[in-house]
Amino acid sequence: MEKELYVIGIDYGTDSVRSVIVNALTGQEVAAAVYPYPRWQKGLYCIPTENQFRQHPLDYIEGLEHTVKACLAQAGPSVAAAVKGISVDTTGSTPVAVDQSGTPLALLPGFEENPHAMFVLWKDHTAVNEAAEINEHAKNFAINYLQYVGGIYSSEWFWAKLLRTLRVDEPVRKAAYSWVEHCDWIPFLLTGGTEVQQMKRSVCAAGHKSLWAAEFNGLPPEEFFASLDPLLADFRSRLFSDAYPSDQPAGNLSPEWAARLGLSPDVVVGVGAFDAHMGAVGGQVEPYHLSKVMGTSTCDMLVAPLNEVKDKLVNGICGQVPGSVISGMMGMEAGQSAFGDTYAWFKKVLLWPLQHLLAQSQLINAETADNLLAEISARIIPELSVEAAKIPITENLEFAIDWLNGRRTPDANQLLKGAISGLGLGSDAPRIFRALVEATCFGAKKIVDRFNEQGVPVKGLIGLGGVAKKSPFIMQMMADVMNMPIRIHKSEQTCAIGAAMFAATAAGIYAKVEDAMAAMGQGFDTEYSPDAGRAEVYAKRYVKYTELGGFIESQIYATQSPQMSDLPETGTKAQEPHTNDEKQKEDALETA
């Protein structure tokens, strides 16, 4: 083995892209760089009130080149010459319409400013009606094509977004030859792909979001899609039939991208995957331990040996796919649609007067106003955490429901809304913040309960990502609510490090990704243990959280517009096996 071997991991998050160069033999990070997406930062192409969130492919391309070149500049030419592999993770499902060459339509003349020609970000919920139609349509088939995605298809996913895009934009519909995930497109770009049907699609994205399954011999049949909507007729044939694990190479760096980045064309580019899946590997996931990537949302990954899981299906999660995380293991995904986003929302509410009124102040100049806003913005969540931690925990403190961006799992429903209850004249900002944090922890517990109830035991918790590293208050509450210890991984870049581990495996430095984890893993630096007294109070409050959530859900179904009227049947049927959930809803209605 050569003395120096390096790999590059690239992590595309919601707000920015981050690249790291890692010593493939030791796991040492030798360089890192981050690039906030400039168009996204300006709010372009997004309409939050309509749940429309789009990202321009130029943000991704510019961020890729900027961060990799910045890392190479930090590391020096000797490191650049020793780079052997690159792998990429992205958010998902974040698909885009492409032409036959695999080029996103937003990069073509006439589509540069069209949001429907851009990547439809994971958190875009404009396709709720399409998702409901898919759920209803699936009942017409003898084979349950939703069985490997938890039984409920989500508006956050591939087919719902594709169908809505075809319906609402005729020019895009006519120009779109195919539809690809962000995590599959970046490796295709780096390897110089020119024919979309030659693109190596990841089993991670294909299985968790696109209804691909080996048991179906690929995607569901043409009849499934053509009978759903004629606009989908023949679209399946322009997609894919095979899917690949991320420990395999997608190809080598193209001469063009090798020159642009300053690397050798011999560098191997691995098959892509979603951020949480690679993040679980970067965080040294263990069988039956829930690996929680906690950022704007959460993505919770659990792996289990295939021979132990066998035919067991967990209802209401985001899919279970062999090899989607580690080859030879079943990869199971769950998560929350808003986690850090919940805190960011509250912060934005509190900052509204400063953002809108300081600039009009007659007492301070514009520069001072901007500096003051920046200072308070940086301090507000840490200060709220300090004050919230001082509040004695009782059964009757303020309550909140964490569905500010809908519910991802268990039982996906992006039409649900958040709520805050139990407010009084003494309900100040720290108390409301505490309730919101508690709600996100309760939402996390719902996921653990679902795995346990359906025969897949959660034996431990691993915390990854920005919130896990930066907020002891939230992590201690998580441990207390779960009544389980939670270990926090040492690396602040677990998704990018995971991508680097996959790069090392795809490049042949390691035979399997478990070997890369063992050699390159950085270990854990913090563990939060539950407090028995607090855990007892949280257990009682959790019952009330469940009751309030059931009541809120029933009221939303009762008062929504006609487009919602067909949806309760889908949601109810999906939850029929879960009699405890239904009983809790009935109890909540009686209480109300």
Q: What is the DSSP string of 100-134?
A: TTS-BGGGSTT-TT-GGGSEE-TT--TTHHHHHHH
Q: Quick count: other Cβ atoms within 10 Å of Cβ 264?
A: 14
User: Within this chain, do residues 408 and 507 fall inside the same structural domain, yes or no?
Assistant: no
Phi, psi of 97 (to 5 degrees): -80, 135
We report the CATH number of the domain holding residue 462 as 3.30.420.40
- Whether residue 565 has pLDDT greater than 90: no
Q: Last residue of a domain, which of 447, 478, 511?
A: 511
- Whether residue 454 has pLDDT greater than 50: yes
User: Within this chain, do residues 476 and 503 fall inside the same structural domain, yes or no?
Assistant: no
User: Within this chain, do residues 82 and 183 fall inside the same structural domain, yes or no?
Assistant: yes
Cα 468 → chain centroid: 15
**Which residue do the tokens 């009782």 mark?**
394
The count of domains in the chain is 2
Q: How far apart are CA 445 and CA 482, in angstroms?
A: 6
Q: How far apart are CA 49 and CA 244, in angstroms?
A: 37
526-564 residue pLDDT tens: 999 999 999 999 999 999 999 999 999 998 877 664 444
All residues at 6 or more sequence positions from 53 whose CB lies less than 8 Å from its CB, including other chains: 46, 120, 121, 123, 124
User: Within this chain, do residues 72 and 130 fall inside the same structural domain, yes or no?
Assistant: yes
- Whether residue 342 has pLDDT greater than 50: yes
The stretch 174-200 carries a mean pLDDT of 98
User: Within this chain, do residues 210 and 145 fall inside the same structural domain, yes or no?
Assistant: yes
Q: Confidence class of residue 304 from pLDDT cuts 50, 70 and 90?
A: very high
All residues at 6 or more sequence positions from 410 whose CB lies less than 8 Å from its CB, including other chains: 150, 315, 316, 317, 334, 446, 447, 450
Q: Confidence class of residue 298 from pLDDT cuts 50, 70 and 90?
A: very high
User: Within this chain, do residues 278 and 397 fall inside the same structural domain, yes or no?
Assistant: no
The stretch 181-198 carries a mean pLDDT of 98
User: Within this chain, do residues 139 and 208 fall inside the same structural domain, yes or no?
Assistant: yes
Pairing of strands 399-401, 329-336: unpaired
18-62 residue pLDDT tens: 999 999 999 999 999 999 999 999 999 999 999 999 999 999 999
Kindly state whether residue 208 falls inside one of the protein's structural domains.
yes
Q: What is the DSSP string of 526-541?
A: EEE---HHHHHHHHHH
- Token readout for 342 is 């919940």
- Whether residue 286 has pLDDT greater than 60: yes
Looking at the DSSP assignment, which residues form a beta bridge with residue 16?
Answer: 36
Q: Determine which of 98-102, 114-118, 372-376, 563-567 has the lowest per-residue pLDDT on average.
A: 563-567
Q: Confidence class of residue 272 from pLDDT cuts 50, 70 and 90?
A: very high
Kindly state whether residue 104 falls inside one of the protein's structural domains.
yes
The pLDDT, as a whole number, for residue 572 is: 29
The pLDDT, as a whole number, for residue 556 is: 83
Kindly state whether residue 474 falls inside one of the protein's structural domains.
yes
- Amino acid of residue 578: H
The stretch 480-490 carries a mean pLDDT of 97
CB distance 181 to 97 below 8 Å: no
The pLDDT, as a whole number, for residue 588 is: 35
Domain of 416, in residue numbers: 391-489+529-591
Q: Which of 260, 244, 272, 243 shows the shortest CA–CA distance to 85?
A: 272
CB distance 294 to 463 below 8 Å: yes
The pLDDT, as a whole number, for residue 311 is: 86
CB distance 120 to 156 below 8 Å: no
Kindly state whether residue 323 falls inside one of the protein's structural domains.
no
CA-to-CA separations, 585 to 241, 395, 553, in angstroms, rounded: 42, 20, 9
Q: How far apart are CA 176 and CA 102, in angstroms?
A: 10
Angle at 240 between CA 257 and CA 497, to 5 degrees: 45
Q: How far apart are CA 540 and CA 48, in angstroms?
A: 35
Kindly state whether residue 310 falls inside one of the protein's structural domains.
no
% of residues, the chain, pLDDT over 90: 89
Q: Confidence class of residue 360 from pLDDT cuts 50, 70 and 90?
A: confident
CB distance 9 to 275 below 8 Å: no
Kindly state whether residue 376 falls inside one of the protein's structural domains.
no
Q: Quick count: other Cβ atoms within 10 Å of Cβ 238?
A: 14
Average pLDDT, the chain: 92
- Whether residue 570 has pLDDT greater than 70: no
CB distance 19 to 12 below 8 Å: no
Q: How far apart are CA 125 and CA 114, in angstroms?
A: 18
- Amino acid of residue 174: K
CB distance 441 to 456 below 8 Å: no
CB distance 452 to 459 below 8 Å: no
The pLDDT, as a whole number, for residue 160 is: 98
Q: Quick count: other Cβ atoms within 10 Å of Cβ 575?
A: 19
Looking at the DSSP assignment, which residues form a beta bridge with residue 303?
Answer: 331
- Token readout for 505 is 């495996």
Q: Confidence class of residue 580 from pLDDT cuts 50, 70 and 90?
A: very low
User: Within this chain, do residues 398 and 507 fall inside the same structural domain, yes or no?
Assistant: no
CB distance 130 to 164 below 8 Å: yes
All residues at 6 or more sequence positions from 365 whose CB lies less than 8 Å from its CB, including other chains: none
509-525 residue pLDDT tens: 999 999 999 999 999 99
DSSP 215: G
DSSP 230: G
The stretch 108-130 carries a mean pLDDT of 97
The stretch 173-194 carries a mean pLDDT of 98
CB distance 155 to 130 below 8 Å: yes
Q: How far apart are CA 154 and CA 316, in angstroms?
A: 10
**Which residue do the tokens 């939703």 mark?**
146
Looking at the DSSP assignment, which residues form a beta bridge with residue 404?
Answer: 406
- Whether residue 335 has pLDDT greater than 90: yes
Kindly state whether residue 353 falls inside one of the protein's structural domains.
no
CA-to-CA separations, 200 to 220, 222, 243, 324, 501, in angstroms, rounded: 19, 21, 7, 14, 19
DSSP 244: B
The pLDDT, as a whole number, for residue 560 is: 61
The stretch 365-377 carries a mean pLDDT of 93
Q: Confidence class of residue 465 from pLDDT cuts 50, 70 and 90?
A: confident
**Which residue do the tokens 């499934």 mark?**
224
User: Within this chain, do residues 423 and 499 fall inside the same structural domain, yes or no?
Assistant: no
Q: Confidence class of residue 2 from pLDDT cuts 50, 70 and 90?
A: low
The pLDDT, as a whole number, for residue 88 is: 98
Within 306-345, strands assigned E span: 320-322, 329-336
- Token readout for 39 is 């168009």
User: Within this chain, do residues 219 and 120 fall inside the same structural domain, yes or no?
Assistant: yes
- Token readout for 433 is 């913040």
Q: Is 422 left (phi over 0), alpha (psi -120 to 50) or beta?
A: left
User: Within this chain, do residues 406 and 257 fall inside the same structural domain, yes or no?
Assistant: no
Roughly how many angstroms between the first and final C-alpha of the chain, as a whole number? 68
User: Within this chain, do residues 395 and 278 fall inside the same structural domain, yes or no?
Assistant: no
Kindly state whether residue 17 falls inside one of the protein's structural domains.
yes
- Whether residue 419 has pLDDT greater than 80: yes
CB distance 351 to 238 below 8 Å: no
The stretch 193-218 carries a mean pLDDT of 97
The pLDDT, as a whole number, for residue 263 is: 98
Q: What is the DSSP string of 284-312?
A: T--TTEEEEEESSSEEEEEEEEHHHHTT-
Q: Confidence class of residue 414 from pLDDT cuts 50, 70 and 90?
A: confident
The stretch 339-351 carries a mean pLDDT of 96
Q: How far apart are CA 290 and CA 473, in angstroms?
A: 20
